[in-house]
Amino acid sequence: MRLRGSFAPATAPAAHQDLLVLLPSLGTTTELWDGVVAQLRAEPSTAALRILRIDLPGHGVSPATRDPFTVADLAGAVLEVVEETGGGSFHVAGVSLGGAVALELAAEHPDRVLSLAMCCSGARLGTVDGWARRAAAVRAGGTASLVAASAGRWFAPGFLERDSRAGAHTLAALVDVDDESYALCSEALAGFDRTGSVARVGVPTLLVSGEHDQVTTPASMQRLAERFPHAVHATLAATSHLAMLEAPAAVAALVKDHLGGGGGAHERGMRVRRAVLGDAHVDAAIAATTPQTAAFQDFVTRYAWGEVWSRPGLTRRDRSIATLASLVTGGHDTELRMHVRAALRNGLGADEIAEVILHTALYAGLPSANAAMAVARDVVAETEGGPGGQDRRDG
| Amino acid of residue 3 | L
Q: Of 176, 173, 177, which Cα lies nearest the Cα of 165?
A: 173
**How confident is the model at residue 387, as a pLDDT?**
45
CA–CA separation, 299 and 303 (whole Å): 6
- Indicate the pTM of the whole model: 0.72
- Class of 265-383 per CATH? mainly alpha
| Whole-number Å distance between alpha carbons of 14 and 299 | 22
| Residue ranges in the chain assigned as alpha helix (H) | 34-42, 71-84, 97-108, 128-141, 147-154, 159-162, 164-176, 179-190, 218-225, 243-246, 248-258, 264-277, 279-287, 294-299, 316-330, 333-345, 350-364, 366-383
CA distance 379 to 287: 23
Comparing C-alpha atoms, which of 50, 22, 16 is closest to residue 36? 22
pLDDT digits (tens, 9 = 90+) for 82-119: 999 888 889 999 999 999 999 999 999 988 998 999 99
What pLDDT does 265 receive? 65
User: DSSP string of 73-107?
Assistant: HHHHHHHHHHHHTT-S-EEEEEETHHHHHHHHHHH
CA distance 224 to 339: 32
Q: Where, residue-wise, is CATH 3.40.50.1820 in the chain?
A: 5-258
Q: What are the strands of the beta sheet with 19-23, ordered from one edge?
A: 5-8, 50-54, 19-23, 90-95, 113-119, 205-210, 231-236
CATH superfamily of 5-258: Alpha/Beta hydrolase fold, catalytic domain (3.40.50.1820)
What residues does 119 pair with on adjacent strands?
Answer: 95, 208
- Considering the chain, tell me which residue range(s) the CATH 1.20.1290.10 domain(s) occupy: 265-383
| Residues in the chain, pLDDT under 70 | 11-17, 261-265, 312-313, 384-395
Phi-psi region of 60 (alpha: psi -120 to 50; beta: other; left: phi over 0): left
Three-class SS of residue 113? Answer: strand
